[in-house]
Structure 1
């Protein structure tokens, strides 16, 4: 029977059924497939106000004995400041033996002081397993974007169109990527899941901090060809799962995907130090 994580660190926001405009007029990156803008209708659902934390994931592991993909593989990808100095795309990632959700920096690291930070080094499969245990599921890409927009129509960010570089509105790379991170927003890596102001729906860190897994398979143009405009889902098969929200490594000079319409993808067994997730739920039953 599904268990629930402690209520004091796990809040669910109920979103009513509604219509919104998803996507953007053009993509951040050529093959991202943000376009076209399309009007969709979603049924009501619940969604966690924050990304899943290390404390919550530990509770899940202790309750189920779940062994994550990274632990099975014996390694995961960790940001490598030394490799970043090579100034080559992807050189800032290092395969680190022993890196996992409970040792995010590799051997010798732990979660001390990171209990309220988002869990990372979790694959899509790990996220699905946690969501089922918690009595929920991963949100579809449309549900994620509807939640992320917070009721604002076609705005770039959860707070509107104001640049995140003008004020510290989210946790992204500050400085010159990938050589220098000034941590001007207060965080050189991940931050607590409830850091920064929530959007109008009360949801925190919908952009920046960590990418978030969704339920959908990624496609460059499936959504543009599909005529489904009510509770749409991705294609039935694919190579990667849709990621939304960007991360603390995003910077306008390289990856400006810290916008609500932005999207990326990763293989469902991929694990890195900048991918996490939040859980969606069936709508809460109400009595007339």
Structure 2
């Protein structure tokens, strides 16, 4: 495989005679560093980048690439001295790098084809050296640097000085494909960053947005950078680009985005003006949203009440210690399960090693016996041979069985640890609630709210799978109770999705996540119920949660402890006919929490409780803050469509 290393310099000016310059460098392999993992996408990234630049107005003679063995420190210096130095003051220079980088001596180094860790200062290109080259050879004032560096695991570190500290009198925008403690991801022979770089440069939409933020048909460098930061943050690969500096020069022009068509003549079941994409369903009061084929209901505008009374909160305060103790008991059982399975796994591992040694020894003896050519004495008695046992040992029956048990044990151990983390999150929040006085976060409040539509059901695996396939998004991990959950159980609610995953789905489907007020109104109805079905205490036939069976019910029932299909438990629907607004799975909301979490924008609200939740946690007014990157096996979402 040929090695590739890409650096792109582009020059743009508002002047009629301004030109665009590009230098591309990409590396796949590092022959001087045996422990450095090879890359498979750099060469393709170079090719795609050059094609993209030329399609966006870059003259082919102004684009130069250094690939494979040509990507060394000497050729980099010559490219600056002989090629990029021709750029004038009004030109714009963009630097695009694809390869590995390494952090050493408080500096980030771009590793070149001939780089060696022993002589990294001489054979690699540090950001300090890059700044010196820019200062020495370039007269162009506007510079855009893209660093798509696949960081090596031992190179994580954040330098104290940035490239701007080494260059004077330049408008530099430095875009790094991931944060300092992340890796740049690749898929299907191409880096994720390079894929989105092409989308941004060409003005193509992602989740119905493009890089032309103000729709003026011009994509500036800052607009391009901000779009890449946003799109990569929501692409599902846990990659968060970093931008330093701004530059407002136009890097490409694109056609103007068509204005949204408005059709005010399409009336819904309640006389409202339906937005584009909404259709009335055959059953009165229900609607179909075309993008993700979801069933929705209309929620009218007006005043709505959230929260509950002080009296209820005082009752809650008395119940919290018992609820916390119950969860702590469950957590203790999970810890015991984790300890036992850890011991079992270690024992099985030791047994495996012993079995493998015995098996290897038996095979060696068997080979020696086969090679023994001396004919035995006829009168010498022959020992009986257990052929079946030899065959079992030969086929590694014992070893394979032990390995199978060990793999199952490790899977169960991971499940126990994940369940324990989720329970510990709930315990931590309840401990904080016990300290809040007087639970202001849950006190009754009145809001004026506009009309909107909300999903009747939680977003299903089938809908989310279609979204992932259309946007080349990675599938969420399987929950602990089911392998191939997303693929095999299409009508169950999707789980193990982060808040950003849910937002990305809502943007793709041209919806949004509900606010806590929108969610609560759809759950409690105009009567302001404590539960979706009313004020009656929950029991198992109307909600999938950790609640008791109905009183005087002689048919004993037990909680299921995993989600059910989204159209189940019809008896527990809300006034607006929404299913599972209590229990089944928690649901993400769009807004940040209040109270002690209000200053932390890394948290969002989840509401409704889940199959694991008690009666307090499935009330319509209860909510819990969760980190935006959390993926829980009991957390999903539903969406709303707002009426403009």
Larger radius of gyration: 2
CA distance, structure 1, for counterparts of residue 619 and residue 481 of structure 2 = 30
**Preserved contact between residue 592 and residue 601 of structure 2 (Cα < 8 Å):** yes
Q: Report the 3-state secondary structure (helix = DSSP H, G, I; strand = E; otherwise coil) of the residue aligned with 2:503.
A: helix
Q: Report the 3-state secondary structure (helix = DSSP H, G, I; strand = E; otherwise coil) of the residue aligned with 2:518.
A: helix
**Structure 1 position 5, deviation (Å):** 4.7
**Preserved contact between residue 453 and residue 641 of structure 2 (Cα < 8 Å):** yes
What residue in structure 1 maps to residue 473 of structure 2? 66
**Structure 1 position 204, deviation (Å):** 0.8
What residue in structure 2 maps to residue 51 of structure 1? 458
Q: Report the 3-state secondary structure (helix = DSSP H, G, I; strand = E; otherwise coil) of the residue aligned with 1:11.
A: strand
What residue in structure 2 maps to residue 241 of structure 1? 604
CA distance, structure 1, for counterparts of residue 508 and residue 637 of structure 2 = 14
What residue in structure 2 maps to residue 35 of structure 1? 442
Q: Report the 3-state secondary structure (helix = DSSP H, G, I; strand = E; otherwise coil) of the residue aligned with 1:128.
A: helix
Q: Are positions 1:250 and 2:613 aligned together?
A: yes
What residue in structure 1 maps to residue 306 of structure 2? 22
**Structure 1 position 113, deviation (Å):** 5.1
**Structure 1 position 194, deviation (Å):** 1.4
**Where does 1:89-238 land on structure 2 (aligned, <5 Å)?**
100=477, 103-105=478-480, 108-111=483-486, 114-153=489-528, 155-165=529-539, 168-174=541-547, 184=557, 187-197=560-570, 198-220=573-595, 238=601
1:232-251 CA-to-partner distances (Å, cap 9, x unmatched) read xxx58534101110110012
For residues 65 and 220 of structure 1, do their structure 2 counterparts lie closer, same or farther at Cα, with a shift above 3 Å needed?
Answer: same
Taking only aligned residues, the RMSD between alpha carbons, in angstroms, comes to 2.8
**Preserved contact between residue 171 and residue 185 of structure 1 (Cα < 8 Å):** no
CA distance, structure 2, for counterparts of residue 158 and residue 145 of structure 1 = 9
For residues 148 and 138 of structure 1, do their structure 2 counterparts lie closer, same or farther at Cα, with a shift above 3 Å needed?
Answer: same
**Structure 1 position 111, deviation (Å):** 3.9
What residue in structure 1 maps to residue 297 of structure 2? 13
Name which of structure 1's ranges 13-22 and 106-115 shifts more when overlaid on structure 2: 106-115
CA distance, structure 1, for counterparts of residue 556 and residue 502 of structure 2 = 28
For residues 109 and 61 of structure 1, do their structure 2 counterparts lie closer, same or farther at Cα, with a shift above 3 Å needed?
Answer: closer
**Preserved contact between residue 34 and residue 261 of structure 1 (Cα < 8 Å):** no
Q: Report the 3-state secondary structure (helix = DSSP H, G, I; strand = E; otherwise coil) of the residue aligned with 1:145.
A: helix
CA distance, structure 2, for counterparts of residue 206 and residue 160 of structure 1 = 12
**Preserved contact between residue 57 and residue 130 of structure 1 (Cα < 8 Å):** yes
For residues 67 and 149 of structure 1, do their structure 2 counterparts lie closer, same or farther at Cα, with a shift above 3 Å needed?
Answer: same
Give the TM-score of the pair, scaled to structure 1.
Answer: 0.71
CA distance, structure 2, for counterparts of residue 267 and residue 105 of structure 1 = 20
What residue in structure 2 maps to residue 179 of structure 1? none
CA distance, structure 2, for counterparts of residue 195 and residue 150 of structure 1 = 20
Q: Report the 3-state secondary structure (helix = DSSP H, G, I; strand = E; otherwise coil) of the residue aligned with 1:257.
A: helix
**Structure 1 position 186, deviation (Å):** 7.3
CA distance, structure 1, for counterparts of residue 524 and residue 509 of structure 2 = 25
Unaligned runs of 5+ residues in structure 2 are 1-204, 209-276, 278-289, 317-429, 550-554
CA distance, structure 2, for counterparts of residue 207 and residue 268 of structure 1 = 21
**Preserved contact between residue 210 and residue 245 of structure 1 (Cα < 8 Å):** yes
CA distance, structure 2, for counterparts of residue 37 and residue 266 of structure 1 = 22
CA distance, structure 2, for counterparts of residue 40 and residue 130 of structure 1 = 27
For residues 261 and 174 of structure 1, do their structure 2 counterparts lie closer, same or farther at Cα, with a shift above 3 Å needed?
Answer: closer
Structure ranking higher in helix proportion: 2
**Preserved contact between residue 442 and residue 622 of structure 2 (Cα < 8 Å):** no
For residues 162 and 171 of structure 1, do their structure 2 counterparts lie closer, same or farther at Cα, with a shift above 3 Å needed?
Answer: same
Q: Report the 3-state secondary structure (helix = DSSP H, G, I; strand = E; otherwise coil) of the residue aligned with 1:217.
A: coil
Unaligned runs of 5+ residues in structure 1 are 72-99, 177-181, 223-234
